[in-house]
Each structure stands twice: as structure tokens, then as C-alpha cells.
Homo-oligomer: A and B are copies of this chain.
Amino acid sequence: MNKTIQTVESAAAGSAFLIEDVYPLIDGGRFAVKRIAGDRIEVWADIYRDGDATISAALIWRGEQDREWRRESMTHHRDDRWSGAFTPTEAGQYLYAIEAWTDEFATWRHGVERKQLSGGDVTLDAIEGAGLLTKAHGAPQDAAAIIVRQCEDYLGSGDVTPLLVSELGEAMAESQARPDLTRSPNFPLVIDRDRARFGAWYQMMPRSQSAVAGQHGTLRDCIARVPDIAATGFDVLYFTPIHPIGRTHRKGRNNSPVASEGEPGSPYAIGSAEGGHDALHPELGTIEDFRALVATCLEYGLEIALDFAVQCSPDHPWLAQHPEWFKWRPDRTVRTADGPYSDIVIPDFASVDRVGLWNAFRDAMLFWIDQGVTIFAIDNHDTAPLPFWEWLIRDIRSRHPEVILFSKTFARPKLMKGLARLGFAQSFSYFPWRTAKWELEQYFDELTRYPERDFSRPNLFVNTPDLLPYHLQSGEAWMFKSRIALAAMLSGNFGLYSGFELLEHDAIPGHEEYRDSDKYQIRQRDWDKPGNIKPWITALNRIRNDNAALQQTNNLRFLGIEDGETIAFAKVAAEPANIVVAAIALSRHAREFWLPLGDLTIDAGGERHRVTTLENLMTGEQSRIEWGGIKLRIDPDRDPALFFRCLA
């Protein structure tokens, strides 16, 4: 007999039920579904076995580190499709699974009822039913009392009726043995706190925050900036790296391969004699200053996000302390990164001492968490292997479930999605290169479709220190306002790099890069420069904060309007009931168009109400909907977008 033939015993121990087509599920459970604390997680599955016995199913769930499963009963809808739900209220890593089993007593009861209807003799059935009761040993006290009482009634009367009361059915459903119980695999679920879904990010280079021309900015200068950034409505203050900067191969202005004396270099060349990933660049200040910054941010409702780049300058202390963590060339120099990145060294993640290296990066992150950092933006992370990220995220989140890890990379589509699946709470997107209406509609349909919606949360940056998109290079205010409106309204998470609000648009010709980028030099800006769009951004953030529908991404739904250069969409929140409609111009000319709103309804007090009125969220003005829609006018040079709250 060949060895691939399964024994009866191992086959019979297999699953009596098939539990299939489980929703939600990412790659059959290989990766975690992501949701937010307080979300009701509705789980659906096909659950069935042979024959027509009465079956029951439960949805079980627990925190990964909990010992006990919690359980919710599942309901059969039709066509063997079941659902159940649970609501985790804390961030963390969870598991859920589905159990199915035969309710033998209910099956017996249905058989008896059927036989009674057709006038059959149920004497033997009654004895069998009573026999089932005796198997429900170990029933909880209340159930046991019901079981004993109904059994006694039956024995006294000889009539099957006491065995058919529904109270007994329920007691037995809960108490009887479940010999054919089948449990699905455990499926992973990650619960993040609300900030993973909703936040406005302001990114800046701390050394560019001095008010004094030519002077290196400090963390104290950053503290001085906090009130204004908070007043503009931002939630996250996001810093480029704050660590000591290497000197070897230091970059000069505009990415020049050689720095002149006194040039500060790129902060992404992490590490020097002054320290590495757990040190602060001395010119920025001290750890006490950093703590003061955290405290000020807290006071103003801002969180701090740090860039976390797993790369080193050639002067990073680790090169001397742990040469085995790096790749060396035949001339005993260290291998630097390819192309324009000669000021950085990629560690060897497959090093013989990878335990040391991986833990060192993890410990650096833990160090900053101890200083009050709750968000990390992972830069250039396609330089480390995928298992490293999966491990790091799980390790950090097991200790600090509140921490948010943002995958800040522009990579190939599959790799972007792969990184999101591995566990990053948020991701960069191709938004900066999606400008036409059809591109935006198609791309956001893709991002908000299942299963992508359940593992990927886009964070829409209108620009970055490395990216000044072509469409911003003419510096037209309407375009800046249109882009930031798109970012703020399409997604729960959006961000900008400082200078955007001042309409900075000086590019290196033919490239989507800033000229004189403060990535390679110190800059100062007049934050109240005339023509800045801070009032527009402040209004967008106010509208976002006032409307639950805008505090998420997956509730997006495009509205069909005829104008090919105006994009319109609705976002609908259930609790509290809130619908926002936005129309945003993608070109500069003034336009009028018809916005159809036909089937939008608001659920309130258990009733469904048709939307009758739009309230302009900028002006407060109200307009009645007539003929299922409304005629609108946008003049982009005034404001390139309109936002409305729907009223019943």
C-alpha cells in the first residue's frame, strides 16, 4: 500500500463541516485583516455539512495573548450563508475563527415535529429524545434545572410534549456535547486606534524651523511652530530624521555629490561619531528638548511621527562596533547604496549576526517610543527583506499596540500591496501621479474595493521632500487648493510637506524635485507669506473634524457628473449619520454642472430619509435638492472645490 493513502481514523478526525468563502479574509488568512477599535467586525461564511440536520455556528475571537476565546452566535441567512459579529474596543492583534456543530437535540425535535404533522407514532422518538437529555451532563446550573424538569415531566406524563418546549431546546443547544464540532483555522485581525484611519499630517525638516536666517533650527524652534500647525488643524507633526548626520560622502546643495565645508548633509545619512539611530543630532538639541516638544504637541493635540530609515551613513557607530552587519568590498571599504545614494550604507539583513542587527533596529524604535513617539514613517523600506518588516511590525505592535507604522515608499504596485499586507497600518499611494478624473476614479475604486480596503489604508501626500509633482510646478494656487482638497476629502489620511502651503514650486527642470530642497541645506520660510493657502487648509481640516463621513476612506462613492474635469463623490457614515458630498475642479476654468444625488438617504431613528437639502460647509448656505440633484458653479480661481453636508 502506498503511503499517500490516508487512514480512516485520520480522515474521520477531519472536518465534518465545510467552512468556506469566509469574509473578511486576506489571502486565506496568511495576512491580517485591519480594522479600527470600536468597528463592528461582521464575519460571513458558507457553513454546511451533508444531510439536513439542524446545525449551529459560532464566531469565536480573542486577543492573540488572551487565554480565553469569546464567542458570538452566528445566524443562518440563506443558501448555507451565515454571519456573526464582534466589536473589539482596544488596539491589538486578534484572532477569530468559526465553529460549527450539529445540534442533535434540535435535529431530533424537528424530526418528531415532522412525524407528528404526518400523524406518525412518536413513542420511540420520545424515548430517544429523553435519552439525548441524559447525555447533556455538565450543563450549566440553569440549563441543567430545565433539562431535569422537562425530563421528569416527560417521565411522569409519558407524553412527548415536555420534550418539545422551546426553553428545553435552548438549554440543550447550549449544553449538549458537540462531537462533530469543526473549527476553521484561526484568522488574524489587527485593530488599530482611530488615528490609523483618520489624520492630517504636517511634515517638516526640523533644522529649517529657525526664525533666524541661516541658523540651524532646533527642537525649541519646532516647539514655537506647534501652535500655528495645530491651529491649521493638523493631527500629526511628522519629522524627517533627527539623528546625527554622517560626513563621509556627505551630499551638498541640490544633491551635489560633494558637500562644501559647513553644509549640513542629508538627514537620511543616519549616524556619525555623535551616535546613530537612537541619538539626536546635536544641533537640534537634547533629549530633554525632544520631550518638551512631545509635551507641547500633546497639549495642542498633535502627535509626533518620526521617519525611521533602516540605513546608515558610513560613519554610523555600528560600522565599527558591528562590522559583520555590513557588506564590505574587496578593498575593505563598505558597500554604499547604488546610484545617487553614495552617502548611505544598507546593512546586511542576512548577516551572520542578523539577530543582533534586527534587534538593534527594533530597540532603536523602542527607544523613541519611550520618548513619546507613537507613529513611525518607514522610509526606503524596500532595502530590507520582507520578513524583517513582518517581524518588526509584529514585535513592536505586540508590545505597543497603539503604535502606527506607515509604509512610506513608492514602489511597484505588487510590492506596495505586499508591504501593506505584511502589516503596515498606512501606505503611500500613487495619488501624486493621479490627476485626471478617470485615473482618480479608477484608482480609488481599486483602493477601496475588498479585499484591498481591508489591508491597505492610503495616506495621500500632495508633496514630499523628494517630490514636487509636475502639476504643481507652475505654482497656481487653484491647483494647490484642488490637490489638497482631493487628498483631504478622498482619504481619511492625508499630508503635506512644509512649503506646500506657501505654494513652493521651484523645481529642478525636467524633474519632480525641489530646487534648493532643504533635504540638503537649511532653509527658512515666511510661514505667513502673502498668498499662502493656510486658510483653505484650515477650513478643510475643520470640515473633516466636523464630519464623521470624512474620517474614513472606504465609504467613498463617486457621483456621475457630465463634466469630465470635475470630480464629485459622496462619503456616507452610519453612526453618527453623516453624508458629505464634494465636487472638486481638476482644471482652471469656471464651470457650471449638474450634480445628481438621486438615491442618497440618511438613516436616523431607525428610519431612512431621503436627502432634501445641501448645506455648504464653507458658507453655511442651504440649498434644496430639486429633480434629484442640484446645479453648481465652481470658479477655481476663487475656490476649486465645494463641500456640502446632506440634510434630510
Binding site for B on A (CB under 8 A): 2-9, 11-18, 20, 27-28, 46, 48-51, 64-65, 79-81, 93, 111, 114, 124, 127-128, 131, 179-180, 329-331, 338, 349-350, 354-355, 358-359, 381-388, 390-391, 394-395, 398-399, 412-415, 418, 421
Contacts and interface: CB of A to CB of B under 8 A. Distances in A.
B6 A391 contact: yes
A68 to B, nearest CB: 15
A354 B8 contact: yes
Contacts of A15: 386-387
B14 A390 contact: yes
A170 to B, nearest CB: 24
Contacts of A127: 330
- The 6 A-B pairs of least Cβ separation, nearest first, read A11-B391, A28-B28, A14-B387, A80-B414, A127-B330, A8-B358
A384 B4 contact: no
A395 B6 contact: yes
Nearest to A386: B50
Contacts of A330: 124, 127-128, 131
Integer count of this chain's copies in the complex: 2
A51 B382 contact: yes
Given A8-B359, A80-B415, A329 B128 contact: yes
8 contacts: A2-B398, A3-B65, A5-B395, A48-B418, A49-B385, A50-B385, A80-B415, A124-B329
A47 to B, nearest CB: 9
A16 B65 contact: no
B412 A111 contact: no
Contact of A18 (B64, B80, B131, B386): B386
Nearest to A411: B50
A16 B385 contact: yes
A388 B415 CA distance: 42
Contact of A387 (B11, B338, B387, B414): B11
A479 B9 CA distance: 50
Given A5-B394, A5-B398, A15-B387, A48 B414 contact: yes
A119 to B, nearest CB: 14
Contacts of A5: 394-395, 398-399
A87 to B, nearest CB: 22
A23 to B, nearest CB: 14
Nearest to A47: B414
A18 B354 contact: no
A328 to B, nearest CB: 10
Given A412-B79, A418-B18, A354 B12 contact: yes
Nearest to A27: B20
Contacts of A387: 11-16
Chain B CB within 10 Å — which of A27, A93, A358, A418 has the most?
Answer: A418
Nearest to A357: B8
Contacts of A394: 4-6
A384 B179 contact: no
A412 B5 CA distance: 30
Contacts of A418: 18, 20, 48
